[in-house]
Structure 1
Amino acid sequence: MNDIKERLHALPPPGSLDAILIGCVEMGASRIHLQTDTALKIRVHGRNYTVPGLRWTNREVSDALAKMYKSSTGPSRLSQMEAIDTSYVIWPDRSKPRYGFRVNAVATTIGANDGIGIVLRPLPEKPTPLEEQYVEPRLAEALDGETGGYLICGVTGSGKTTLMGGVTRKRLEDPNCHCNIIQGAAPLELFYDLIEQNNASIQQTEIPRQLKTFPDFIRAAVREEPTDIEIGECRDAETMEATIQAIISGHRTTTSVHTHDPASTVRRVVSLCPPSDRDSYAIALIDNLKLIVNQRLLRSTDGKRTAIRSFLPFNRKIREALLDAPQARWPNMVRGFVAEYGQTFEQSIKDVHAQGRISDAVADCAMKELD
């Protein structure tokens, strides 16, 4: 902790944006917060740190936003009640590491004054391999399918993108996987140009910079003879409808949903189905669903964070039982199926604790939060 504080105080002034961001990444920051008339704040392995001497004026924050957004129109967009969600890459020397960031900027209020708030989330230079994410063998096996729907879920900051990136990396590197992946995200967070692509390919599109919406992206993707379609996130009925169409048309389709556990995931995806055809779309989804996995992060014994997961691979017995029951019963039924055929969060906590990756106190606290 003291080492991080010392390194924070050694950061350059606000005008040296790239040097500041690189310094924060090298300290292990998962979140960097710049705000008008406010000290720089970062989050490292679940703990917050502040640099009181590094305060940002409104002009300095505006200049930083213009540089990251690659346009001076950023502040005016914020003043029109629009949020900016984009990516920023620092790579001045191709022989050295590349630093990528997801950037979200909004207009803010500081005391009685208006200002700008920018949150950056550092992204790995390469997607993290599944073996470094301690992915369970049963889950790895369930992720190996070639068709159907795969839902990788969790709250913001739970590592959904990291897990999805690991899966994509594995498929690209596998010489026996002849896949053509079409991916859309808002914004793109992980890049694969530094990954060896043996007999596979990937094409990435940023929403809304290169295509306006996820449904537009999915409609374009299905015309490009993909084996895999990856949708960054299902947020609305229109996107869910397009995602289900991709699933039932025979593509391996992966997306994420913001939910807490597999039971709430089923409830959420049904609610996102278009109201006029909710029953038929929900049935089509369940009939072609291969996997739901929900992930959370806990503080690990090495001072970082590690994942716990609850997941359910879908088999014919599960699908038939759900399709024979009223939709209102699906969440409770899925909860029971997770315990019988998948893995609960309780089991994951016990396994991670037994492996020595989390302490007694963290395990006890996590168990209590599940009650």
Structure 2
Amino acid sequence: REEFARDLEMNLAVSLPSVGRFRINIFRQRNEVSIVARFIVMDIPQWHDLGLPEILTDLIMRKRGLILFVGATGSGKSTSLAAMIDYRNSHTSGHIVTIEDPVEFVHRHKKSIVNQREVGVDTRNWHNALKNTLRQAPDVILIGEIRDRETMEHAISFAETGHLCISTLHANNANQALDRIINFFPEEKRQQLLMDLSLNLQAFVSQRLIPNTEGGRSAAVEVMLGSPTVKELILRGDIGGLKEIMEKSKDRGMKTFDMALFDLCQAGEISEEEALRNADSENNLRLRLKLAGDQGTEGETTTFSLEDEQI
């Protein structure tokens, strides 16, 4: 009550026995109090049930580095992240510390110890929680969301000191996420930022939920791994060159959104209309689908690079 009276808005998570868990946002409008409640599935989905790329299970088992999940609100970032944390929790020992606002999915201790800290409940603010995290001897650190420069600096610092740091960011794809991160920092700090990212990045994982042919939604997942070529482009600040590298690196586990949409379309999970509606480059994907249809080889991916395409 005190927080709401002071700030006129607040976030929290509420659990109701035999009902479920809800993510709540309370705010004022027209001098009235309004509430938005989003239902959170209590059981953490398995990564293979979500249709996520297998490369993600390799990423979550790594010892150190920075993994960023990217997507719009409601794109399933939190669900996919919870599935990855659960995978690590089920397969290796260690200490996983999460800092969230609010805590959404509740993890039980399995092979790892999972300590989940909710801002405003278990810690007074993000600053205090992030500052003291390394003193808690974590192996994996989950930051609920990167919203500003200070949080980004902590995430990089955690990766630099030998920890696996995972977080989320609001952006449409890896290119936009990098642009947003760069814009957190003043001009004179950006070259050092690019160097830090090039040294510590494990992956950007971008996700969108696409209406499928069965009335549900399927995840289209873009994966940009921190390969030597990707790191070199980031160091040079050549963000525009990343998409071409991703298109040429499918055998290494990378995939652009358009490649993911193509695969879903070829598998019959989504319609061609939905694929084109959600494409980063509608013309590129239309050509890809047309050639696949002409060849009659369902599921085969042909790589293209349209140099004049803007991401």
Question: Per the shorter chain, which TM-score range?
Answer: 0.7 to 0.9
CA deviation map 1:30-57 (0-9, x unaligned): xxxxxxxxxxxxxxxxxxxxxxxxxxxx
How far is the alpha carbon of 1:250 from its aligned partner? 0.7
The verdict on how the C-alpha distance between 1:188 and 1:333 changes in structure 2, with shifts beyond 3 A counting, is same
SS of 1:155 mapped into structure 2: coil
Q: Distance in 1 between matches of 2:279 and 2:258?
A: 7
Which aligned pairs between 1:1-371 and structure 2 lie closer than 5 A?
73=1, 77=4, 80-91=6-17, 97=18, 99-109=20-30, 114-174=31-91, 177-193=92-108, 197=110, 199-273=111-185, 277-323=189-235, 325=236, 327=237, 329=238, 331-341=239-249, 342-367=254-279, 370=282
The verdict on how the C-alpha distance between 1:364 and 1:115 changes in structure 2, with shifts beyond 3 A counting, is same
| Aligned amino acid, residue 314 of structure 1 | G
Q: Distance in 1 between matches of 2:118 and 2:172?
A: 26
CA contact (8 A) 2:258 2:281 kept: no
CA contact (8 A) 2:143 2:168 kept: yes
How far is the alpha carbon of 1:340 from its aligned partner? 2.2
Structure-2-length-normalised TM-score: 0.83
How far is the alpha carbon of 1:101 from its aligned partner? 0.6
The verdict on how the C-alpha distance between 1:116 and 1:129 changes in structure 2, with shifts beyond 3 A counting, is same
CA deviation map 1:76-105 (0-9, x unaligned): 825x552110011001xxxxx550010001
CA contact (8 A) 1:214 1:231 kept: no
SS of 1:226 mapped into structure 2: coil
| Aligned amino acid, residue 208 of structure 2 | R
CA contact (8 A) 1:218 1:246 kept: no
Q: Distance in 1 between matches of 2:180 and 2:78?
A: 19
Q: Distance in 2 between matches of 1:241 and 1:368?
A: 29
**Larger Rg: 1 or 2?**
1
Q: Distance in 1 between matches of 2:168 and 2:43?
A: 20
| Aligned amino acid, residue 140 of structure 1 | T
How far is the alpha carbon of 1:240 from its aligned partner? 1.0
Identity of aligned residues (%): 22
Structure-1-length-normalised TM-score: 0.70
How far is the alpha carbon of 1:368 from its aligned partner? 7.6
The verdict on how the C-alpha distance between 1:240 and 1:273 changes in structure 2, with shifts beyond 3 A counting, is farther
How far is the alpha carbon of 1:119 from its aligned partner? 0.8
- Choose 221-230 or 140-149, whichever is displaced more: 140-149
How far is the alpha carbon of 1:358 from its aligned partner? 1.4
Residue in structure 2 matched with residue 25 of structure 1 by the alignment: none
How far is the alpha carbon of 1:166 from its aligned partner? 0.3
CA contact (8 A) 2:89 2:112 kept: yes
The verdict on how the C-alpha distance between 1:153 and 1:117 changes in structure 2, with shifts beyond 3 A counting, is same
Higher RCO (C-alpha under 8 Å, 6+ residues apart): 2
| Aligned amino acid, residue 103 of structure 1 | I
The verdict on how the C-alpha distance between 1:352 and 1:227 changes in structure 2, with shifts beyond 3 A counting, is same
Extract unaligned runs of 5+ from structure 2: 284-311
Residue in structure 1 matched with residue 293 of structure 2 by the alignment: none
Q: Distance in 2 between matches of 1:160 and 1:221?
A: 23
Q: Distance in 1 between matches of 2:125 and 2:193?
A: 20
SS of 2:27 mapped into structure 1: strand
- Say how many residue pairs are matched: 279
How far is the alpha carbon of 1:351 from its aligned partner? 0.9
How far is the alpha carbon of 1:168 from its aligned partner? 0.4
Q: Distance in 1 between matches of 2:82 and 2:273?
A: 31
CA deviation map 1:293-342 (0-9, x unaligned): 1101111222121110111111223213432x2x3x3x202222222222
